[in-house]
Every structure is written in C-alpha cells, then in structure tokens.
Structure 1
Amino acid sequence: MTAPLSTIDAPLSDADPFSYDILEDPLPFQAELRAAGPVVYLRKYDVYAMGRYDEVHAALTDWQTFQSAAGVGLSNFRYEKPWRPPSLLLEADPPHHDAPRAVLTKILGPREIRGLADAWAADAEELVEDLLAKGTEFDAVTDLAAAFPLRVFPDAVGIPKDGREHLLPYGDHVFNAFGPPNELVAKGAPRVAELSASIATKCARDVLTPDGFGAQIWAAADRGDITEAQAPLIIRSLLTAGVDTTVNGLAAVLYAFATNPDQWARLREDPALSRTAFDEAVRFESPVQTFFRTTARDIEIGGTVIPEGRKILMFLGSANRDPRRWENPDAFDLSRDPSGHVGFGFGIHQCVGQHVARLEAATILNALSKRIASIEISGPTRRHHNNTLRAWESLPVRVKLG
C-alpha cells in the first residue's frame, strides 16, 4: 500500500532506522528526524515517523486514534497474520485490553511488590559479594545487568528453573520481529519454534509455584476476572517484556554511571536517588527505542494529514532526547526530574511492569553503592543490535572498592 509521493505532504527521508549504522548509533539520525519536522515519511518502509516529544507523547496517550491492535511492529495485523498470538497487553485495545491490564496492574502494583524488597536486597548483596570476590574487573552486562533479573524475576513469576536460558533469546526475537524482516529477524528464525514452545510450557498452571505472579494470574482466571485462555498469554507477555527490557535498562544505568563518575559519587552520597537514576537512564538510553501504531482515522499532525490505516513509527528514544522538552538532553543528570519520559511508553499501554523494573534497579544500585567507590569502562564495549531495543552485548568495567 505504498503511497504516491505526490500525495505526501510530510518531509521525506531515505534513511533506514533499522540499518547497522543507525542501530549502532541512533542519535545523529534522531536529531535529523526531529529537525525535519513533527512528522516525516520514511520511503523505505512506507511509514510515517515521529521523533519529537510532544507528538510521540500525544500519540501514546490517544489509543482511539493510534491503535495498538493492528500490531506495534511494522507488520499490519489488518492484512497480515501475526507470527504468534498477539499480546493481550501490547497488541490489544479496549475493551479486549481492559481485563488483562487490570489484573496485572493489581498484581504488579508498587504496594504488592514491596514484599519482594527484602529478599531481592539479600540476593543483590550476595551477587555483588560473589562478583567482587572474583576481582574488580567484570562485564557489567553479563555479570550484573543480565545476572540479577535472571536471578530474581523468574522466581517472582514462579516459573521452573529448567529452560530459563530461553528467556533472553526469545525476548530478543520478539523485539526484533517488531521491525522489518531483516537479517536480525532471520538470525533468530531457526529457533522460534523451540523457544516459543519452551516459553509456552512455563505458562501452564501446573508448572508454576503457588506463590508467584503466574499463580496469581491463574487465580484471576478462576475468579472470572479473565478467561482461562487469556491466563497463559498474560504470563507469556510478562516473561517476554519483563526480562530483556530490564536487563537493558540496568545496563543503561551502569553505562551512564561508568561514563559519568560525578553522578556515581552523587548517588553514593544520597542512595535515595537510585530510582531517579534508573528513570534518568531510561530517558538517556531508552532501552525500548521504537514502537509502531496504526491510524484509526485520518489525522492531521503538524500540517501533515496521515490517512486512516497507516503505520506510524514512534521514536521513543528520540522523544526522550528532544531539546524542546528536556534541558541539556544529552547529559545524564541526577538533578533532573526525568518523570514524563516515554521510555516506558505512556497512556493505557504504559509498561505495566515498570514498578518491578524500578525495584530491581534500585536494589542492585543500592548493593553496588555500598561497596564500590568508582566505576569506569575498562575495555572495548559492544552493542547488541535489535530492531526495537537499545542493548549492550558487552560492557567491561573496572571498579574501585571503598
């Protein structure tokens, strides 16, 4: 359904936001996108794009106009069959979205997860002690950012230990599949059936522990709050979105501190800043860089009329660096109030697990700040490319104890 260029009144771009160069460093492209206008047409994918904060925020909060049910990736579910059953949280709109969202909002609310804090703090301190016992140089991605969520979150959900190694590669493929069918998607395709089957088995009632998030979701089905068919899909969404994004959020905050030693010193002086630090890192690095929506009607934005049924690519990472919204946006600054960032989305589709992610981040940062006086990059860093996520493959660091 490529639009004739003569009918498009938006600035045109030939850039490929899913290319190697832009995935490696998206900031120059995002600056060009914001400068071009509130809406830009990406010729390569026949989609409209928005990179400024105001327009992205408005689209995220207007689910009636900017639909999620046609898919939050490039694929349009109106015409294409999804490769897996759509997420009841990300890829559904009211009324289908309402019951699953209400159930998870209650289970994952800040008051409800507070009971995890003490056990997670003990796990974090043990992890840090074990890591530092081996030396003062380690990989902040594999040894911390991935290790801690994979240690505590699956237990909180209540899934068995067998097969947990499939969580990260499955999530990586899901987030890649939101983009175009490029080499990143092709690389994960051979394992899709195996990984999908493994994750599906983790969502069954009889394999879950009786006190985890998963059991609470099945209990909601027993009460009639959701259907039995919905329960495993909601657990699947939890496992899909609750690991990769948190891992990359933790990597983002550790990278930010390693490259901004003055801010680490500030956190050590005031450990209460740990949650602010995580949100500022999510704004600064935006682990979730992009999501799509589909227009439910003709909509005029900044002088451009986008027809009904068209895909819009929202650049969350770009919005979080928009100088129209943020003062000195390219600085990681704990004196900033980062609330209002769109790194967790916004509106009714805002990340339902954000309180869990914040608790995980604050817990590991608190454990680190008690033992580590400084943290610095100690070797070549490597990005992990993903069509949707801003991720790290390796982040070698050296720490000084104190």
Structure 2
Amino acid sequence: MPGVARPSDVGEPLGPLPQEFAAIVRPELPSLIKEIGLEVTRAYPEYARLLDGPYGQGIRVGVEQSISVFVDQVAEPAAPSALRDEMCRRFGRFEAYEGRSLDQLQGAYRLGARIALRRAKKVGRRYNLSPTMMLSFADALFTYVDELEALSREGYLEVRAASVDHTDTLRRRLLHLLLAGPPVPRTAIAELCEQTNWALPEQVTLVAVRAPADLEPLTADRDILADFTDPQPHLLVPGPLTDVRRRMLDHALPGTHAAIGLTVPTVLAPDSLRWARRVIELIDSSIIDDAPIVLCEDHLITLWLLSDPVLLDQLARRELAPIAKIGASRRERLIETLRIWLDTRGTAAQMGELLGVHPQTVRYRMRNLETIFGEQLVDPESRFSTEAVLRAMQLRARGGEDPL
C-alpha cells in the first residue's frame, strides 16, 4: 500500500506519505498521464499501435487507473482498487495472448514510474517538500510498481497455464491417434498437427517408461509427444534415437528406467511401443537385465521367441514330445546336452567341458538323443524349431518360469 513506505536501503524506516501529499499531486495527474503515455509509446512503438486500435480506450482507462489509484491510496489507504487490479491483469493476459514475455510491459511500468518521479521532484521543489518526504514518495512509488507487475503477472500466468494445458491436451490426443493405428482418418491427424504446430515425421521411435514416471520439461525436446498420465507412461520421439536424443532422455527422465522401441515408419508406431512395453515386462520378469535405458534392438531374438507364450507352449510340446515320458531328471540332462550341441556343434570333449561331464558321458547322451529324436535332428527345419524352443525355455528359466 503506497500510504506506508517500506524500509529504506540504509535500514531506517521511512515514514508514511502524509495525506496532504495527494492534494498536492492530484492536479498534476491529467498532464502526467499524458506525458507517460507519450514517453511509453515512444519507447515501445507496439503500444502506440494498440492505442490507435479497437482496444485503445481500454488501455487508456487502464493507464489512468494505474496512476490515479496510487494517489487515491495516499489520500485514503483503504481506497478500492478493483478496477485497477482487473486492468493490470488484462494487460498481462494481452501480453500472453500476443506471445510476448512480460519484459516489455514491466519496462513500460518502470518507465512510467521514472517519469512520475521526475514530475514529483519538480512539485517538491515548488512546495519545498523535505528530502525525507521525497524519499518516502520514491520508495512508495516503486513498491506500487511491484504491485502492478504482480497483478499483470497473475493475468499472464493465467493465460499461459490455460494455453499450456490446452496444448498438452491436444498433443496427447495426437499421440493417442498415432498409436491407435488404422483406420484413423489422416485428416484428424493433420488437423491436430496444425493446431499443435507439430511436424508429422516419416519415422518415429517410441519409448516405454516404467511407472511412476515424470518428464522434466525444461530438458525435453519440444517435438517429443508424451503421455505420463497413462498407467503405462510413454513418449514418442520423431525420427531415430540419435546420441543427442539419448543424452536428452537421460536428463529429461532422471532416475526413471525406460525401454526404447525400434525406429519405424510412423504408421507402425503402435508396434514400436508394444515391443518397448514387452521389454519392460521381460525386465520385470528378470529375463532381460535391467538398466536405466534398454534398447529393444538389443533383444530382438528374445522378443521374438517370447512373443506368444501360448504358441510357444504348443511348439515345445510338439518338438520335445519324444522325451515327454522320460523321467524329469534324465529329461533335463538330455535337454541340456541337446541345447549345448545345437548351440556349439562341438566335439564331445568341448561339450563335456561346458556341461561339466566326461566326454564319454556326452557320447552316451548323444547316442540316446539320436535314437529318441531320429530324423528330427537331421532335418534342418525340425532342428531349427527344436533349437528355437530350447532357447526360449532357457530364457523362461531366467525369469523363474516353468519352461514347459
């Protein structure tokens, strides 16, 4: 409140402006308002154009209120300021709508204060006002300017918050459409791209993030689409995941673990996210080793082998049917020997070293396997199917699952 000045820089509290000061200053208001208007529009030509436009009268009222209320509150500290408050908020809203920062408006406020202070010095000399009173006036004036700026900031942030919320909503809707897959009308995607100023890329890379998660917007590239309100948080990176993008994700997702899907044509975005989410599942099952960021491209065979668990069960029953009725202990030894042979095609000595048994034991087991499986180990297609099943079983065992 201007009627009570804040402490001076030297530590001595300044006294309140006497109410008589308002009577001295009030006659100066018409010419002061005009002078401030001229100086501000000269320093900020944008405001000169606004004064000549349809909002000119409203701006003039706002300027008059901003100056008059200061004098009114000197005369009567409880003087109402509702109209002034709303006008200052409107100034802030307008700057937000115009896409500007508050620097220009704050500069205009401070320029007006300097002009008012210059006028006050002339009045002070005319009325022989004391230096202490002039200091009190200056202190109260710049406190008042802080108040005007705070009111304008409220209006500015109100618009910015609403704009950000609306834009974020549109960006999430765009992300959802891209992940919905066909048949999504291309016109709907094109309209959202235009509304959000987002360029539709030819390729995208999807990222699945382990919940709970939060994106640090200050370090995230603006062209990234993200939905962290989803129970399975995810984001879309236009184009491939370059080293620069990788470093950006490290900073934008601090302390969060994520799986990077494959870079695919934009129409295949749902697949990239599906693979990334599957990697998260396999990490949670201890099948894939955990790390802050895991790349799907490093685990394509694992993804393929474990892509359809039910189908894998059926394939395992078919391929391993010849040993299904053998006792569990012997069956496990034969399966392990068969897996090592398919992996290495090694000699009995080499396989024995890997299995921790005598080479003669390996030869004995291999004769048993050849007798049991027969042509299945000779035919390339059957042998490939068996090898795929055994590798999938080994992956399942890492996660503590029953391999069959």
TM range (shorter): under 0.3
TM-score, length-scaled by structure 2? 0.17
TM-score, length-scaled by structure 1? 0.17
Structure (1 or 2) with the greater strand fraction: 1
Q: Which structure has the larger Rg over C-alpha atoms? A: 2
Structure (1 or 2) with the greater helix fraction: 2
